[in-house]
Amino acid sequence: MRRILFIVLTLMSTLLPGLAHAWWQAEWSYRKPVTIDGGPQAGAIGSDAGRVPVLVRLHTGNFKFEGVSETGADLRFVAADDKTVLNHQIEQFDPLLGIALVWVDVPNVSAGTPQKLWMYYGNPKAPASGNGQRSFDPDYTLVYHFAEGAVPPRDTTAYANNGQTSAVPVEGTVIGKGAQLGSGPLMLPSTPSLAVQAGGALTFSAWVKPDQLGARQAIYARRDGAGELVVGIDQGVPFVQVNGQRSTPGQPIQAGQWSHLAVKAEGDSVALYVGGRPTVSLAAKLPALNTAAALGADAPGSLPVAQGAQPAATFAAFTGAIDEVRLSKVARADALLLADAVSQGAESRLTVFGADEQQAGKSHFGFILAAMPLDAWIVVGLLGLMMAISWAIMIAKGRHYGATSRANTTFIEHFREAAGAPLDRLAVNNTVPHEVRADSSLWRLYEVAVDEMRRRHDRGYDLSAVSSATIGAIRAAMDGVMVREIERMSKRMNWLSTTIEGAPYVGLFGTVIGIMLVFVVAAMAGAVDINSVAPGMAAALLCTAAGLGVAIPALFGYNWLASRSDAITADMAVFVDEFVTRLAEEQGEGRSLPMASARA
């Protein structure tokens, strides 16, 4: 009974308006599913990359730019649970050109099961929330998007390692805007957050597009005394050089094409990556580096030279474009570097966009619920409790009546098969299954009759000639059990009749109170138009509808249960007549004296 009541209450709770909706927040009108798939048929990153700032590239081919703020301030990225808001940073958002570049902090990019994100938009009152300091984890010490134009590049991270010289902007790079190199080095600051310990860890990555393939072109250079770290290109072949030791030739890149280069140093090894995949490895340790680094040229003035001599550049300047420069104080996972290369390219295979969804408007029923006052909710709550109890009773009674009917059918088959044998044969031989004896009301009638016969036999009565008085006594005992069985079946049925008769009155009471309040409020406000009274009237009438909704199922259930109860009662009455008739026929005609009197 308690379990059934719990199930009913649980089902009812799904209808309450206060529960969470699938939509994240009602203020946002639209959302778009974004699937991050690192599996073999998509990103193919090979293994889990962990926390990754994934580039979400929007354009007119996958996004209509309708209903969204002109600045993208209302963009929100929410995890699949529709609860967890993900950090993001907007690098570029231009609805007129139909392009947007947004970095989303995805907590775990997996090579297994694809994960869905939701991009919400369409809230003109939403404040801007994009923040690069939270979108990139604290191990990133420098991130340049080059989106600022002809000014020193701004560091997105919280370390504020902004550039020391102005960048020459270039449009149409691999990710929005970039910087043109070749006229001079783009100097990075010398800060404690960019310092490298001897033998320490480091990750450098950037997108590069050489205009021409020359010899010994430096892309990233840093020198500190005799210590040296250079990442460059020699006749189209990327290399990394540490303290004069250069990596062997690996995978080349092409002029006029964008390529993703990365260098990862950890312990005794420095590895070079092209397109997110390792190409060559150098057995070397990083030196201690505490000086300023340069992009696009060798680090000037950092080499030790003789007194009075001019420093000579060891490497030539890199002529070409650069974009999305990143430095990390840790050795990034191979899967993360591959995810960067895959997701940041012009045709990302890591992100898949679904169709935009619009939040459904409030239904008529939802409008009525929103207009319900407290007194109406109290009435509806009371009616809900009545409905839960009545449904629990109907379900329990229905199961009980069904089990009783099935057990009675099985028992009467056993009883009739034993015709011609002594009436107590079923009890003596124990041929009736335990389940039938537990549920059958006919068994309980039979059991009390057999017990009456046994008691008389133990007292010395001759049961081969049962008198009319004894038969009447046995019938009376069976009638008593039948009455108790009827009472058992009728237990709690009065609650259903009370629900049938009382629920409409409870609902009507709520309607009357609600209408009274509607008219009082309208009179006090001086407003008598339909728009001012219609919501309250509808909410008041909902109470009556709720009362009828409780009473009508209870009425149907009561009538059905009453018919089942009547059928079981009729079966018991028929069985009493059948048993007494067989007793009179097979063992009737008088009553013998006690055995002691007969011997006397």
CA 261 vs. chain centroid, Å, equals: 38
Long-range contacts, 12-19 (Cβ 8 Å, 24+): 12/384, 12/387, 12/388, 17/366, 17/369
Q: Which comes out higher in pLDDT, residue 313 or 75?
A: 75
Average pLDDT over residues 477-485: 90
Q: Look at residue 5 and tell me whether its pLDDT is greater than 80.
A: no
Q: Which helix H or strand E contains 471, and what residues bound it? A: helix 468-490
Q: Which residue has the tokens 């009729």?
A: 570
- Contact criterion met (CB below 8 Å) for 290 and 193: no
Give the ranges where 372-467 is alpha helix by DSSP (H).
374-417, 425-429, 434-439, 441-458
Q: Look at residue 595 and tell me whether its pLDDT is greater than 70.
A: no
pLDDT of residue 239: 96
- The Cα 446–Cα 451 span in angstroms is 9
Whether the CA torsion 580, 586, 588, 594 is positive or negative: it is negative
Strand partners, 59: 99
Q: Which comes out higher in pLDDT, residue 271 or 132?
A: 271
- The Cα 367–Cα 17 span in angstroms is 11
Model confidence at 362, in pLDDT bands (50, 70, 90)? Answer: low
Q: What is the 3-state secondary structure (H, E, C) of 166-227?
A: CCEEEEEECCEEEEEECCCCEECCCCHHHCECCCCCEEEEEEEEECCCCCCEEEEEEEECCE
- Contact criterion met (CB below 8 Å) for 161 and 191: yes
Burial class (CB in 10 A: 0-12, 13-18, 19+), 266: middle
Closest CA to 110 of 68, 185, 48: 48
Q: Look at residue 210 and tell me whether its pLDDT is greater than 80.
A: yes
Average pLDDT over residues 91-97: 92
Q: Look at residue 50 and tell me whether its pLDDT is greater than 90.
A: yes
Amino acid at 439: D
Whether the CA torsion 437, 440, 443, 444 is positive or negative: it is positive
In terms of pTM, does the model score above 0.85? no
Which two tokens mark 281?
Answer: 């490895």
Q: Which comes out higher in pLDDT, residue 11 or 564?
A: 564
Please tell me what DSSP assigns to residue 529: S
CA 505 vs. chain centroid, Å, equals: 41
pLDDT of residue 417: 81
- The Cα 427–Cα 446 span in angstroms is 9
Q: Look at residue 553 and tell me whether its pLDDT is greater than 50.
A: yes
Please tell me what DSSP assigns to residue 446: H
Please tell me what DSSP assigns to residue 260: E
Closest CA to 245 of 273, 270, 277: 270
Phi, psi of 194 (to 5 degrees): -100, -5
- Contact criterion met (CB below 8 Å) for 503 and 386: yes
- The Cα 442–Cα 490 span in angstroms is 17
